[in-house]
Structure 1
Amino acid sequence: MASASPPPSPGSDTRRVRAALMNKICGDEDMFALGSSVAHVVQMASSDDRGAHELAYYVLSDVALTQRVLRLSNTVSYRTASGTPVTTISRAISLLGFNSVKTAALAMLLVDALSNSAHAQSVRVELEASLCASLVGRELARNSFYQGAEEASIGALFKNLGPLLAASHDHARYREINALVAAGKHTVGQASQEVLGTSYDALSEAVLGEWKIPEVIVRSLAPLPPGVQKVAASRGEWMRQVASFSMDVSRMMARMAHPAGTNEAKALLARYGAALNLDAAKMEELLASVEREMNGLLESMNMKPQPKPDEAPGGGLPNVLMLASLGGADDAGAAGCHPSGKPYNARDLLLAGVQDVTQMRASGQNRLNELILAVLETLYRSMGFRFATVVLQDARSGQYRARVAFGEQEESRKAGFVFPAESGRDVFHLAMENAADLMISDATAPKIRELLPAWHRKLLPDARSFIVLPLVVGKAQLGLFYADRAHAAPEGVPPDETALIKALKGQLLAALCPSS
């Protein structure tokens, strides 16, 4: 008689749970899309103007993300001293800083991808913990001497990815883990290892590895040894300390309304203070700053946390947060659009953009490329164009070349937007020779068609309406702005909008030739 098969070991059970959870996460199309988006944003470098343009273009390609970043830059925490509203992503990046917008965009990607889970309340608890941890990490990075310290805020954001994914994709086991922790006999790491067959930190590392996130960020999620932390010997070790501390602070802030000076805050100082150069005063300042910025971040995403209790509970998990709708209306699109795609409120959007660019120039803190980006973005968004670029003369090659662009197929179209500097009888050379701003409402009209060069007809065969704004100072033809739509624009450009477009261009010309 055949002997009975031995019962499966507990280890094989947990291995199956771990494998099933990873398959569920990595096989989910929405999670795959999230991973691709996260990897793209993480890899954006802040070292040159290209990074700022790439981030601006990425944000602008998502209407909801655009509105959230603009709302964030107009919250009390970031509002400019003059009170002038921020209306362009380019200026938001200038005002908030490249890395702040980058981390905020990553946080907003997580919110969009996971907030509509069937277990929304649990997921939102974990989302808020992630958002808060990223802000703690950012505060510590601001005062760090390490190069690339801002990556710590990304590590802090992802430190909580394991619980977030478990709450979203395997809620029953997420509740089991919470129950074990609440009983007081397991740490979070022990409970997640027992239930899932992998710790939350290891789950986070595995998923970020699948998403091709840089190794230095992935390694920052590894747990720290127990006890008092010493000053880090390397940037990698410091990032691990920041990620762990940020998550601990985030959990503490979720449990109590006034954590500064409490026993829990003192315990965190005892563990991390020497390593992260924190004392009681600095800790209190950090908590106040994070709370202000957290309120602004939640406000920008139409999220309202439930009021916290005055004292922390004896242990266990943070109170469930009741958050409002995450979607929010598209503020810019509320006024509607013409069939061409041009917003009905183009004048208001142009006016706001002119004020934005004027203030950027007045501050004296912005580089020329940042002003070019702001002007181009204002034209692109305010007038509803599908593609917009700025073209400047390259003296070495004797050509005009597109330098930056927004819109559909921006990379390929920018690469192909090149034409010789020698004078010709086409719409672009004629505009520059006559310093004439051209607004073409129907590019298929025979007389207009005759003036379109062959390279333009090949590159943009479906352009039905477009503008050309030459950048000319004296007799120097510096280049031009070009923007188009795939639809005719019979509504045209009324005088008040024309005046604002000229004012916008005038600000850039003044920056290009300040002595003129």
Structure 2
Amino acid sequence: MPTPAEEIREALHPDLQPLFYRHSCGLPALQATCRTILRQADDRSNADDLSRIVRLDPGLTCKILQLANSVAYSPAQPITSIPHAVTWLGQDIVRALVATTSLVEQLKEWPERHELVTALIVKGLYTAAYATEIEAAMQVPPRGGLFSAALLYSLGDLAIAYQAPLLWHALSAAALRGLEAGAQGREETGILGATKRQVAVALAEHWKLPADFGLLLGTPPGLPSSRWRTESEEFSGLVVGTNLLIEALSTESDPAKVAGITRQIQIGTGIEPTVLQKRLARAQEKARQLVRSVGLPDSFGRPAGPPSARTGPEVLSSSCRPDQVPEERKRKTIRPEAPTPMQIRPLETLREFQRTLDAAQDLHTLLSSFAAALETSAGFVRVGIALLNPTNRDALVGRHVTGVTPAEPYLASLTGSLSRQHPFLASVLAAREPMLVTEFARGHHFRPSAEFLEVWKATSAVLAPLRIHARPIGLIYADRGEAPRSVVDEDYEVFLALFNQTSLSMNRLAGVREQRPAA
């Protein structure tokens, strides 16, 4: 009896037939990643084994610690060890992030595939975050492999986009026509020689992925309109349902369709509607943290189009996060400088920093320690801290600067009325997270004041709101010195790692303890 791969191989479009060759240019990177992520049942590694793998890569170490300490994952105390981070996040998530990071790095060798495939990976990470967050709301024991299965349920899209980008764009154009399921299948067969689902099932068999994942890929992409009763129905419903939801959120302009899928998930899981909405909001924040941890641009909601569909140069907003910086700009601004302690020994540096924070007995000492660590451990050159006047919430007062002399002009540039003099700094205070300002001179409605720009003479910086619980108390500014020295995404990642530890310590000092979300 022929296998799924043997059944469709000859019928496939010639551009896709190399998918089933023993060796195909570039594709082994995707194949190896999928096998690494999904072959959980045969993998005897434990948290310690996984921790050792992570420790071998300082950049990956920093990313995993940053994710574990992020607001989305709400640790009660700062997490400074990789085994603790692996336990906190879960082996399924960490293994998927390790493998996905490896794939993203390899994709840089094929720039014509990079943008398209990474956009699909971003959607997969959103889907995985939504699936695991909804599962937590169901109050059932966690299912091993749910994150990985949700991440790679779109295996057909990934493989086609990787192997034949033009065919993938043709499929996308067909999907936008809103055809019925049967007509959509015929359209896919006309383009590919088989449906995307058939391609995915055949690939799972050809790559020797777990049999249960192959069965899941063969599940029709609809959702039952009744409660999911068995573990198998729940697992399949979570994977398929969240994929449908993310696909609708990223490509549809019809709120009714999104609401309909959400309603089907709510009925299937039995979660109260208000609880589900809160979980979906939390899932979105977790997804953003996951995407950032892998180092990808957050393209969710902005599906990649064919090159001919792009119009005009990309305008870089002055409030861009590093996940919004074009790859070509990143390559131009990375500096060949001596590595910092956070790059050489991130784990030990974070531990030392945490001991300094624990020793702080007041807010001034704690923030001064943060500023000092940004200089000595992270390589920032200049740091400024401004606090809100407790009796006048519109008044900002410069309190601390490092790396500059004399200090007075810099403190003055951080002082004044937020509404009248510093609308840009007011936007920093209102932000939910730190921001990487890539070019002060371009693209943002709220530019810093002329005085601020004249004093600092910087092209880029990281700025972040300082909060006690949810209440803003001030902000912090950090840069690499005067123009043309630039702050890049690697700087932002290191800043976040130190910032997250500082935020938790500020709350501890104030008697506010972050709580982990209820399962």
The TM-score normalised by the length of structure 1 is 0.53
How has the CA–CA distance of structure 1 residues 60 and 323 changed in structure 2, closer, same or farther, with 3 Å as cutoff?
same
How has the CA–CA distance of structure 1 residues 46 and 66 changed in structure 2, closer, same or farther, with 3 Å as cutoff?
farther
Which residue in the other structure is 1:352 paired with? 350
**1:158 shift after superposition:** 0.9
Q: Conserved in 2, the CA contact under 8 Å of 1:114 and 1:168?
A: no
Which residue in the other structure is 1:396 paired with? none
**1:172 shift after superposition:** 1.7
Distance across 1 between alignment mates of 2:351 and 2:257:
47
Correspondence 1:268 to 2:264? no
Correspondence 1:184 to 2:181? no
Which residue in the other structure is 2:12 paired with? 15
**1:101 shift after superposition:** 1.8
**1:267 shift after superposition:** 0.8
1:296 pairs, out of 267, 289, 310, with 289
1:89 pairs, out of 55, 62, 82, with 82
**1:245 shift after superposition:** 0.7
Q: Which amino acid aligns with 1:52?
A: A
SS in 1 for 2:283: helix
Q: Conserved in 1, the CA contact under 8 Å of 2:137 and 2:276?
A: no
The TM-score normalised by the length of structure 2 is 0.53
1:75 pairs, out of 62, 70, 75, with 70
Q: Which amino acid aligns with 1:77?
A: A
Distance across 2 between alignment mates of 1:170 and 1:347:
41
Higher relative contact order (CA 8 A, sep 6+): 2
**Aligned runs of 1:223-242 on 2, under 5 Å?**
223-224=219-220, 226=222, 228-242=224-238
How has the CA–CA distance of structure 1 residues 13 and 94 changed in structure 2, closer, same or farther, with 3 Å as cutoff?
closer
How has the CA–CA distance of structure 1 residues 350 and 179 changed in structure 2, closer, same or farther, with 3 Å as cutoff?
closer
Q: Conserved in 1, the CA contact under 8 Å of 2:221 and 2:240?
A: no
Which residue in the other structure is 2:165 paired with? 171
How has the CA–CA distance of structure 1 residues 178 and 78 changed in structure 2, closer, same or farther, with 3 Å as cutoff?
same
Greater alpha carbon shift after TM alignment, 247-256 vs 15-24:
15-24
Q: Conserved in 2, the CA contact under 8 Å of 1:173 and 1:195?
A: yes
Correspondence 1:65 to 2:60? yes
2:144 pairs, out of 137, 146, 150, with 150
**Aligned runs of 1:33-72 on 2, under 5 Å?**
33-44=29-40, 51-72=46-67
What CA deviation, in whole Å up to 9, does each residue of 1:105-137 have, x standing for no partner?
A: 344344334465404433233222111111112
RMSD, matched Cα: 4.4
**1:186 shift after superposition:** 5.3
SS in 2 for 1:194: helix
**Aligned runs of 1:134-145 on 2, under 5 Å?**
134-144=128-138
Greater alpha carbon shift after TM alignment, 296-305 vs 163-172:
296-305
2:277 pairs, out of 271, 277, 284, with 284
Distance across 2 between alignment mates of 1:238 and 1:135:
16
What CA deviation, in whole Å up to 9, does each residue of 1:197-243 have, x standing for no partner?
A: 22222322322333332222232222337563433454333322222
Distance across 2 between alignment mates of 1:235 and 1:229:
17
Q: Which amino acid aligns with 1:22?
A: L
Which residue in the other structure is 2:112 paired with? 118
Q: Conserved in 2, the CA contact under 8 Å of 1:205 and 1:221?
A: yes
SS in 1 for 2:237: helix
How has the CA–CA distance of structure 1 residues 242 and 319 changed in structure 2, closer, same or farther, with 3 Å as cutoff?
farther
Distance across 2 between alignment mates of 1:60 and 1:140:
31
1:216 pairs, out of 193, 209, 212, with 212
Q: Conserved in 1, the CA contact under 8 Å of 2:9 and 2:17?
A: no
**1:266 shift after superposition:** 2.2
How has the CA–CA distance of structure 1 residues 217 and 142 changed in structure 2, closer, same or farther, with 3 Å as cutoff?
farther
How has the CA–CA distance of structure 1 residues 77 and 46 changed in structure 2, closer, same or farther, with 3 Å as cutoff?
farther
How has the CA–CA distance of structure 1 residues 242 and 357 changed in structure 2, closer, same or farther, with 3 Å as cutoff?
farther
Distance across 2 between alignment mates of 1:308 and 1:111:
20
Q: Which amino acid aligns with 2:51?
A: A
Which residue in the other structure is 1:494 paired with? none
**Aligned runs of 1:468-487 on 2, under 5 Å?**
none
What CA deviation, in whole Å up to 9, does each residue of 1:360-393 have, x standing for no partner?
A: xxxxxxxxxxxxxxxxxxxxxx9xxxxxxxxxxx
SS in 2 for 1:121: helix
How has the CA–CA distance of structure 1 residues 298 and 345 changed in structure 2, closer, same or farther, with 3 Å as cutoff?
closer
- Tell me which structure has the larger Cα radius of gyration: 1
Distance across 2 between alignment mates of 1:307 and 1:149:
26
**1:308 shift after superposition:** 5.2
**1:156 shift after superposition:** 1.0
Q: Conserved in 2, the CA contact under 8 Å of 1:230 and 1:275?
A: yes
Correspondence 1:101 to 2:98? no
How has the CA–CA distance of structure 1 residues 218 and 356 changed in structure 2, closer, same or farther, with 3 Å as cutoff?
farther
**1:295 shift after superposition:** 1.5
Distance across 2 between alignment mates of 1:278 and 1:99:
24
Distance across 2 between alignment mates of 1:104 and 1:169:
22
What CA deviation, in whole Å up to 9, does each residue of 1:435-478 have, x standing for no partner?
A: xxxxxxxxxxxxxxxxxxxxxxxxxxxxxxxxxxxxxxxxxxxx
Greater alpha carbon shift after TM alignment, 99-108 vs 168-177:
99-108
Q: Which amino acid aligns with 2:82?
A: I
The count of corresponding residues between Structure 1 and Structure 2 is 330
Q: Which amino acid aligns with 1:296?
A: Q
**1:52 shift after superposition:** 0.3
**Aligned runs of 1:461-472 on 2, under 5 Å?**
none
Q: Conserved in 1, the CA contact under 8 Å of 2:58 and 2:345?
A: no
2:197 pairs, out of 197, 201, 219, with 201
What CA deviation, in whole Å up to 9, does each residue of 1:267-306 have, x standing for no partner?
A: 1134333222244323312320121012212222333335
Q: Conserved in 2, the CA contact under 8 Å of 1:41 and 1:102?
A: yes
Q: Which amino acid aligns with 2:243?
A: M
Distance across 2 between alignment mates of 1:203 and 1:92:
36
Which residue in the other structure is 1:131 paired with? 125
Q: Which amino acid aligns with 2:196?
A: Y
Which residue in the other structure is 1:254 paired with? 250
**1:73 shift after superposition:** 2.4
How has the CA–CA distance of structure 1 residues 118 and 290 changed in structure 2, closer, same or farther, with 3 Å as cutoff?
same
How has the CA–CA distance of structure 1 residues 302 and 324 changed in structure 2, closer, same or farther, with 3 Å as cutoff?
farther
The unaligned stretches of length 5 or more in structure 1 are 1-10, 313-317, 338-342, 360-381, 383-516
How has the CA–CA distance of structure 1 residues 21 and 93 changed in structure 2, closer, same or farther, with 3 Å as cutoff?
same
Q: Conserved in 2, the CA contact under 8 Å of 1:232 and 1:238?
A: yes
Q: Conserved in 2, the CA contact under 8 Å of 1:39 and 1:211?
A: yes
Which residue in the other structure is 2:389 paired with? none
The unaligned stretches of length 5 or more in structure 2 are 1-7, 304-308, 315-322, 358-376, 378-519
Distance across 1 between alignment mates of 2:327 and 2:70:
17
Q: Conserved in 1, the CA contact under 8 Å of 2:20 and 2:206?
A: no
